[in-house]
Amino acid sequence: MHELKYLTVQMLCEYIHKSRSTVYKMIQNKTIPYTKLGRGVLFKREDIDLWINNGCVMETELVNIPKIK
């Protein structure tokens, strides 16, 4: 079976067995690797697998990119 490279919030919830509210709290607290795509959020499966293998701890902090005015 072909595995997807990116997961949506709903797909991630099923993948890691967490509720949507828990996932959104992890995003807000920057405790899970994610990618912003416009107003949406995607999760790279490879990063999520590494995060899980790392005890659900991020190895590095997410880069905060300044907004262009």
Residue 25, classed as helix, strand or coil, is helix
- pLDDT-derived band at 1, boundaries 50, 70, 90: very low
- Distance of alpha carbon 11 from alpha carbon 23, whole angstroms: 11
- pLDDT-derived band at 5, boundaries 50, 70, 90: very high
Report the chain's mean pLDDT, rounded to a whole number: 86
Q: How many domains does the chain have?
A: 1
User: What pTM does this model have?
Assistant: 0.75
Residue 56: domain span: 1-69
Query: Residue 15 is part of a domain; what is its CATH number?
Result: 1.10.10
Per-residue pLDDT, 24: 96
Query: Could you report the per-residue pLDDT of 8-64, keeping only the tens digit for each?
Result: 999 999 999 999 999 999 999 999 999 998 999 999 999 999 999 888 877 655 556
